[in-house]
Amino acid sequence: MQGEDSQLSMTRRDLLRLIGLSAGGAAMYAVMNRLGLAAESPYKGAPVLQGAPRGTSVLILGAGLAGMVAAYELRQAGYKVQVLEYNQRPGGRNWTLRGGDTYTELGGFTQHCQFERGLYINPGPWRIPYHHRGLLDYCKKLGIPLESFVQVNYNAYLHSAQAFGGKPQRYRAINADYRGHIAELLAKVTQQGKLEAQVTKEDQALLLDSLRRWGALNDHYAYVAGHSASNRRGYDKEPGGGLSAKPLDSQPLQLHDVLSSRLWSGLADGENYEFQTTLFQPVGGMGRIGEAFGRQLDGVIRYNAKVTAIHQDEHGVTVSYEDARRSGHIQTAHADWCICTIPLSILSQIPMNVSAPMAAAIGAVPYAASVKIGLQFKRRFWEEDEDIYGGVTMTDLPINTISYPSNDFNRKGKGVLLGAYLYGLDAYQFTAMPPEERVRRAVEYGSQIHPQYKQEFENGVAVAWHRAPFTLGCFATWTDELRAKHYDNLCQIDGRIALAGEHASYLPAWQEGAVTSAMDVIARLHQRVVAGGAA
């Protein structure tokens, strides 16, 4: 989604998009697997934890999804479990901001969410792929209703400030014109007999027929204005009824204009493994998952507990913590074992006596910069004026992404957009701004795509993840080199301490990474407990 012109270096997302367009989906998926972005979830159900010694205790640090999954399963298996959580709510990055909520970031900036009742924004995760079986299973177990999340909407926009006079183009028009022109070029090559060494005459006939259908070509294998093209890219005048029913065909863009716009770079995004529909979202916001876990673990989680030190010996683990709202009074918690799910960006600053390899791993992994901005408007103008129901608009402006709500379609009254989802250098620049300035910039940039912004905007909230005191970043950004050197050391049980979280997975940035990491670590920890020791 990141615009190349706004970055000093190519992002992984840009690289994957180019690989997908030039070498095909299989090549793109292979690279994504290596980067840990597309590995299929290994979840086959919760591990069977039988034979836990009576009274064995486990202290879990962090009530994000990894911590709460571990607590939920271990408690059911008979372990004595307690959880320390920095925030005054469960969920960690599984979080929804609603009207009436207050959030204070590092630097002391406090935002009071003013969204109308029922409206919300997910500052962290906001969609669940269909193959993230672990998270979906817990949603079922906890009775969390789901609804469809629209990733690709052919009526949403692709936008570049440098192309078509800055006017946004419908995704369907760019998609149809790019495919149509490519299909016409391939058809010409096929008709000229230049593929005879690679394709039999019988297959050439099939290839031509497939290109005509795939690219909406006419009977002469040309991509030109007409019913076939308009049925893909849309009409200048829609078909209707009565005397004025006849539609007017639209005029395709020229191949040169499509290519030079670089808007084609946004076409492959919906084909990425995670985004191939169906995707889901919890009804009422992603935070419903963390809230449901919190209810299950009522009395087990101690909130507002800021961990200040972690110490282990041959008898167990002792954790020092203080009230996150007012420092000074140190308390301790003790258990036989500890599962730590604190993000590495925080954990690397907490004194902890683990082995040198684990300590090096904890300190080696950087965290991505990201900013999300939610904007409330007086009405759902994207639906009323532009027929956009769900989906994503991508732009090379710093805001990167606009996502339209996938719920309450055709609803009267106010609405909330994800008005920006920033990465990289743009995210760092926005992180340096006060929240109200981030919101103002999002409205300013967004109005270049939706002119209605300026008249319809009411209020907004902006979460910059490097200023979130409980994460200091969005998610762990592994490289092949870092994984080769540190990943196994990070995931080993070190004495009586084990780590879990999205950072301890090959599904970084996804909640499924946290879930499967927790599954793995509790199974291995249980084996060690049953075997009788910390060796």
Record the tokens describing residue 423, joined without a space.
């990465």
Confidence band (pLDDT; 50, 70, 90) for 39? Answer: low
Q: Is the pLDDT of residue 27 over 60?
A: no
Mean pLDDT, all residues of the chain: 92
**CATH topology for 36-86+289-366+479-531?**
FAD/NAD(P)-binding domain (3.50.50)
Q: How large is the average pLDDT for residues 414-422?
A: 98
CATH of 170-261 among 1.20.1440.240, 3.30.465.10, 3.30.420.40, 1.10.1060.10: 1.20.1440.240
Q: Phi first, then psi: what are they for 296, rounded to 5°?
A: -65, -30
According to DSSP H, which parts of 36-170 are helical?
A: 65-76, 133-141
Contacts of 450 (CB under 8 A, 6+ apart): 381, 382, 386, 402
Q: How large is the average pLDDT for residues 354-381?
A: 98
Q: Is the pLDDT of residue 304 over 50?
A: yes
Name residue 85's amino acid: E
Q: Name the helix (H) or strand (E) containing 203.
A: helix 201-214
Any idea what DSSP says for residue 28?
A: H
Name residue 266's amino acid: G
Q: Tell me the whole-structure pTM to 2 decimals.
A: 0.90
pLDDT at 276: 85
Q: How large is the average pLDDT for residues 454-469?
A: 98
Q: Is the pLDDT of residue 267 over 90?
A: yes
pLDDT at 205: 92
> Which residue spans of the chain are classified as CATH 1.20.1440.240?
170-261
pLDDT at 224: 97
Tens of pLDDT, residue by residue over 369-382, are 999 999 999 999 99
Residues linked to residue 301 through DSSP beta bridges, in sequence order:
83
Closest-CA residue to 127 (of 118, 119, 136) = 136
CATH of 97-155+277-285+368-467 among 3.30.230.10, 3.90.226.10, 3.30.70.120, 3.90.660.10: 3.90.660.10
pLDDT at 31: 43
3-class secondary-structure state, position 24: coil
Confidence band (pLDDT; 50, 70, 90) for 534? Answer: low
Q: Phi first, then psi: what are they for 434, rounded to 5°?
A: -65, 155
> Which residue spans of the chain are classified as CATH 3.90.660.10?
97-155+277-285+368-467
Strands (DSSP E) found in 246-377:
248-249, 279-282, 301-302, 305-313, 316-323, 331-335, 337-340, 370-377
Q: Phi first, then psi: what are they for 463, rounded to 5°?
A: -110, 115
Q: Is the pLDDT of residue 472 over 90?
A: yes
CA distance 122 to 202: 53
Lowest mean pLDDT among 35-44, 202-211, 311-320, 373-382: 35-44
CA angle 443, 509, 136 (to 5 degrees): 105
> Which residue spans of the chain are classified as CATH 3.50.50.60?
36-86+289-366+479-531
